Amino acid sequence: MEPRIFCTGPLSADTEVTLTGDSATHISKVLRLRAGDELILFNDSGLDHPARIASLDRQRVRVRVGKGYDPGTESPLHVTLIQGICKSQRMDMLIQKSTELGVNVIRPMICARSVVRLGDAQARKKTEHWRQVAISACEQSGRSRIPTIALPGRLDDLASARNEHTTTRLLLDSRADTSLGAALGDSASVVLLIGPEGGLTDAERSLALTAGFQPVKLGPRVLRTETAPLTALSIVQYLAGDLG
């Protein structure tokens, strides 16, 4: 399977593009590709472009681009994940694996019990870092659309989730009586809300209910904040998405 490389610029058939920076380094030093080798380029348009290396050195890789095609790796189910921010490595893994599982939008949330606290500059830096994690996950998993990762917000913003899509809004809650599968139904889009390490406070839970979120459970055990979204995403993709 050809390696896949994200490209920020436009891609069209029978043109040449020059890759620089980390992409060029990855191609020449990590993958150790040579002139004539083939790879796949994508730029978040939803298309993969077969390409062939024309020339390269340590700083630049010139690539001849072929005709784009839809790789068919996007799920028919639109999923937004509203996630209480957790510690750095856990959050990176959560972003990576959620991307692999087909999430479309990730909205990190600062909650009352969040261990991580971010100022404005830190939030912007973290968001860009998470986007790079998602890009790498797309390169690995075959996706050609990168999930939207919003700047960290607060649960007070939940009311806006009601208007994002005609969608099912689900709150993962170990106290709930309804299973996630039963609540999903035949919805074409879903918003999943998951708290941070310490869970949501009663006030935050009430806020979510007011915003139209239905409490659902995943099973008899309490899952960690980085385990719960991956389990939930696997379930919804199996039931209404592309894993069945």
Domain that holds residue 92: 78-240
Q: Please compute the mean of the pLDDT values over residues 166-181 and round it to a whole number.
A: 90
Residue 29 pLDDT exceeds 60? yes
Q: Is 231 within 8 Å of 225 (Cβ atoms)?
A: no
Whether residue 38 lies inside any domain: the answer is yes
Percent of the chain's residues with pLDDT above 90: 69
On the CB side of 206, CA atoms within 13 Å amount to: 3
Which pLDDT does position 222 carry in this prediction? 85
Which pLDDT does position 185 carry in this prediction? 83
Hunting for tokens 């399977």 — which residue is that? Answer: 1
Q: Please compute the mean of the pLDDT values over residues 157-162 and round it to a whole number.
A: 62
Q: How is 22-67 classified by DSSP, letter by letter?
A: HHHHIIIIIS---TT-EEEEE-SSS-BEEEEEEEE-SS-EEEEE--
Please state, in angstroms and rounded to a whole number, the distance separating the CA atoms of residues 35 and 46.
26
Same domain for 52 and 86, yes or no, is no
Whether residue 70 lies inside any domain: the answer is no
Stronger pLDDT, 149 or 174, i.e. the higher one? 149
Please state, in angstroms and rounded to a whole number, the distance separating the CA atoms of residues 11 and 69.
12
Beta carbons within 8 Å of 122's beta carbon, 6+ residues apart:
none
The band of 51, judged by pLDDT with boundaries at 50, 70 and 90, is: very high
Local structure of 85: helix, strand or coil: coil
Same domain for 48 and 89, yes or no, is no
Local structure of 194: helix, strand or coil: strand
The CATH number given to whatever domain includes residue 28 is 2.40.240.20
Same domain for 93 and 60, yes or no, is no
Same domain for 94 and 53, yes or no, is no
Residue 142 pLDDT exceeds 80? yes
The band of 93, judged by pLDDT with boundaries at 50, 70 and 90, is: very high
Stronger pLDDT, 57 or 179, i.e. the higher one? 179
The band of 17, judged by pLDDT with boundaries at 50, 70 and 90, is: very high
Whether residue 160 lies inside any domain: the answer is yes
Whether residue 126 lies inside any domain: the answer is yes
| Stated length of the chain | 244
Residue 161 pLDDT exceeds 70? no
Same domain for 184 and 132, yes or no, is yes
Percent of the chain's residues with pLDDT above 70: 95
Q: Is 3 within 8 Å of 40 (Cβ atoms)?
A: yes
Whether residue 193 lies inside any domain: the answer is yes
Please state, in angstroms and rounded to a whole number, the distance separating the CA atoms of residues 19 and 61.
5
The band of 113, judged by pLDDT with boundaries at 50, 70 and 90, is: confident
Residue 169 pLDDT exceeds 80? yes
The band of 187, judged by pLDDT with boundaries at 50, 70 and 90, is: confident
The band of 57, judged by pLDDT with boundaries at 50, 70 and 90, is: confident
Same domain for 219 and 138, yes or no, is yes
Which pLDDT does position 173 carry in this prediction? 92
